Amino acid sequence: MKTLLTAAAVFLSAAIGTSATAQNVGIATSNPGSLFHNIGTAVANAANAAGLNTTIQPATSPNQFIPFIDQGGIEFGVANLQEVNYAITGDAWWDGRTNPNLRVVAHLMPLVEAIFVRADSDIMKVSDLKGQPMTDGYTAQNTILPQLSAFYATAGMTRDDVEKVSVASVVAGADAFMAGDTVGFIFAHGAGKVREADAAVGGLRALGVEDDSDAALAAAREHWPTAFFTTLPEGAMPGVLEDTVYIAFPQVIFTHANASDDAVYAMAKAMYENAQVMADTFPPFRAFKPENMKGDPGIAEFHPGALRFFEEVGLN
């Protein structure tokens, strides 16, 4: 945790300048190439179109920026709902350190995840990864190991069934794959890094869950409680070579309890009214449904500014 705090302090020093006024706000994201950087950029464009002066502040992962959103160092961030819930309670990798000031602004579209391999490889399903070198470790992104374990669980596997190649982040994992150090890597559909890898190796195959039964979903949820299964049609994303079932997770934009009600209201309103701006910026936002912004926040609470907007437009 000390290393996390040291890295995050550097992030905070860069972010403070975006927090000066209610109408001049920052959105914390993961590094360029990651899904959350793409998402944050799309949300910022929607907010800017609505009159907020919004800037992106990238860090390696939400592990770094969540504590500083909790402390009011920057207004907004994007992450998995499960990650926000763990941060609030101090569970899992938070090792008892709670972030009680986190508040949800709105649900985004689901994150849909795959394990990517070369399209010309003989790896056709998750269980074919047994004994093969696979990305692991994810020392700067604590969310990834349980998500990877959830994927393996659908094939009756654990991380010990592969040869582990340690990487710091999903972006680093994709780089290791492109360098030939691993046979596969885990990443979210729609991220720019996946398209880079697809071009670099002459085509990807996006492995889905091996078993989409209720029992397999229960096994996956032992590792990532908010997981659900969803189907992408052939050709929907790079590597989707046929209709395939994948693991998906709810994603949210979140803030802190002391954020300006007016700024949070304005952010929720901007997203609701500018869905097309977000889709034009990042095509996976085509799956974003404004009417679903007030989804189940788990153990988290919605910020009052968001609730004011939801009430105004009749979202219950």
Cα–Cα nearest to 188, from 79, 264, 315: 79
Q: What is the pLDDT of residue 62?
A: 87
Cα–Cα nearest to 246, from 233, 231, 235: 231
Rounded distance between C-alpha atoms, residue 50 and residue 45, angstroms: 9
Q: What is the pLDDT of residue 224?
A: 95
Q: What is the pLDDT of residue 316?
A: 82
- Beta strands, E only, 124-227: 133-137, 163-167, 184-188, 204-207
Residues of the chain where predicted confidence (pLDDT) is lower than 50: 1-22
Contacts of 25 (CB under 8 A, 6+ apart): 18, 19, 47, 52, 53, 54, 55, 75, 76, 263, 267
pLDDT tens readout for residues 55-100: 999 988 888 899 999 999 999 999 999 999 999 999 999 999 999 9
Q: Catalogue all structural domains in the chain, each as residue range(s) with its CATH number.
A: 2-110+250-313 (3.40.190.10), 111-249 (3.40.190.10)
Helix, strand, coil content of the chain in percent (nearest 5): 45, 20, 35
Using an 8 Å Cβ cutoff, are 244 and 232 in contact?
yes
Q: What is the pLDDT of residue 140?
A: 87
User: Six-digit token pair at 229?
Assistant: 């299964």
CA dist list (Å): 127 to 88, 153, 165, 180, 210: 35, 10, 17, 20, 8
User: Residue 196: beta bridge partners?
Assistant: none
